[in-house]
Amino acid sequence: MVTVAVTAALAGAEVILRAGPEPGSEVAAEVKGRSGDYVTEVDLASERAVAEVLRAETGLPVVGEEEGGPRAERYWVVDPLDGTTNFVHGFPIVGVSVALVDHARPVAGVVHAPFLRETFVGARSAGAERRAHDGTSTPLRVSDRPVERAVVGTGFPFRRKDVLGRYLAMFGAALERFEDLRRPGAASLDLAWTASGVFDGFFELGLSPWDVAAGGLLIEEAGGAVTDWTGGPDYLSGDILAAPPAVHAELLRLARSA
């Protein structure tokens, strides 16, 4: 299943690379739902390419960000272009995220960064690794930096203004507690970078399963903790705290206070 997921993610990445804008240029996009939530023809074409591979190779249902799909006990969940706003503005921090969910738990996951040419791969109880474009691979391990030196990723809940007060309370507390915060704008990559020790944690409210399923699995397999904001296991809800154990404990404390 991991091999299939990698093949599918690379198929979506090819669509993105063919259409990729030059830095500073813009791609035509439509607003879906709330302001700032964009979809492009590239999102749709990438999703079709990913889903075609997954259905042909496994016959399992596919749930995509753009076209939805039926859920089952076992199904694929796909973000075909995570970071669409980045893509529209020519900022090359975008990802393709593919995960297999079995009884509400991710069991295989791939996050691929087309413009960075690196792939993050993980499977339940089998570990996780980063694969570079030159064919080399490196096992993923979360960082062991002390809490006060942690640099933590986040994302703003621009689709969910109703949780903005709770998020801002958490944001302020986190900025005081940790060394610094980062917001690249593609949650799947934020999680992959946390799994590989680049970031020391990640928190966000109001995401969707396709944003977090693959990346959350990577962090778990890299020795980190991933929960919702209550400390429960339902991070596929989109309210996610993910970090090495010590930083996760602090994130959970701050979230409960917020």
| CATH label of the domain that carries residue 197 | 3.40.190.80
228 and 119 in one domain? no
Question: Which of 139, 174, 205 is a domain's end point?
Answer: 139
Which residues of the chain fall short of a pLDDT of 70? Answer: 21-39
Residue 168: in which H helix or E strand, if any?
helix 164-177
Whether residue 186 contacts residue 211, with contact meaning beta carbons closer than 8 Å, is answered with: no
Q: What is the pLDDT of residue 89?
A: 86
Pairing state between β 240-243 and 202-204: antiparallel
Question: Which residues span the domain enclosing 56?
Answer: 2-139
- Cα dihedral sign, 54-59-63-69: positive
Place of tokens 């979809």: 39
Instruction: Give the residue from 235, 236, 193 showing the smallest Cα distance to 251.
Output: 235
133 and 26 in one domain? yes
Q: pTM of this prediction? A: 0.93
Instruction: Give the residue from 78, 90, 6 showing the smallest Cα distance to 43.
Output: 78
Q: What is the pLDDT of residue 240?
A: 98
Q: What is the pLDDT of residue 34?
A: 55
Helix/strand/coil for 31: strand
151 and 75 in one domain? no
| CATH label of the domain that carries residue 41 | 3.30.540.10
Q: What is the pLDDT of residue 69?
A: 87
232, 105, 46, 90 alpha-carbon torsion, rounded to 10°: 30
Count of domains for the chain? 2
pLDDT in tens, 190-240: 999 999 999 999 999 999 999 999 999 999 999 999 999 999 999 999 999
Question: Which of 114, 139, 164 is a domain's end point?
Answer: 139
131 and 166 in one domain? no
Residue 226: in which H helix or E strand, if any?
strand 225-227
